[in-house]
Amino acid sequence: MASNEGLLSNFLNNLKDLHSEISKQFVTERTSAPNLQHEMPEFVMQVHTYWDFIRALPYNTIWMVCLMLFHIASFLLIISTQNYYKIQYALFFFFLVLVSLSEKINEIAAQHWKLFSHENFFDSGGLFISTVFSLPLLINCLLLIVIWLKFSFKALVL
């Protein structure tokens, strides 16, 4: 019994040492990062949950308003072209191309963020661009698929 407690105590001490070494290494890498685009943006470091992240986004900036208007216009275009499937196919392809280019867009925006923003939101992990750019486009693609499935179902039933 005593040897088991000694082994457990030794294991816990080794685990604490490992944790402190990893923490030191992370802090060293974090403070010595040479490229700003690989660091987390300041506003991301202040949030702890995804919902805090969503609330911390700068919705009142001009470029964010334009981006939101683009997503709203895309949604309205999908709704207004429900009976025009060739247009919807083109939209679907266009949206997927934009999503596939989002990593490159993120890199370019991380390099030139001072031209349109007061803070660099474009982290190397892509959380920001995935949330405000890719996710709404993918939701629109999902809406297009639902519309096509609805049309197919009606064609099969009739």
> What is the secondary structure of 10-34 as a DSSP string?
HHHHHHHHHHHHHHHHHHHHHHT-S
Residue 46 lies in a domain: no
**Which among 140, 145, 143 has a CA at the least distance from the CA of 70?**
140
Residue 142 clears pLDDT 90, i.e. is over it: yes
Q: Which domain holds residue 89?
A: 58-157
Mean pLDDT of 25-49: 54
Binned at pLDDT 50, 70 and 90, residue 90 comes out as very high
Are 136 and 93 contained in the same domain? yes
Are 126 and 78 contained in the same domain? yes
Torsion angle of the four alpha carbons 140, 141, 144, 146, in this order, in degrees rounded to the nearest 10: -100
Query: Which range is least confidently modeled, 20-34, 61-75, 135-149?
Result: 20-34
Is-contact 137 58, C-beta < 8 A? no
Instruction: Give the total number of structural domains in the chain.
Output: 2
Are 18 and 78 contained in the same domain? no
Is-contact 95 12, C-beta < 8 A? no
E strands in the chain: none
Are 86 and 23 contained in the same domain? no
Residue 56 clears pLDDT 70, i.e. is over it: yes
Is-contact 43 56, C-beta < 8 A? yes
Residue 133 lies in a domain: yes
Three-state DSSP class for residue 120: coil
Residue 131 lies in a domain: yes
Higher pLDDT, 56 or 104: 104
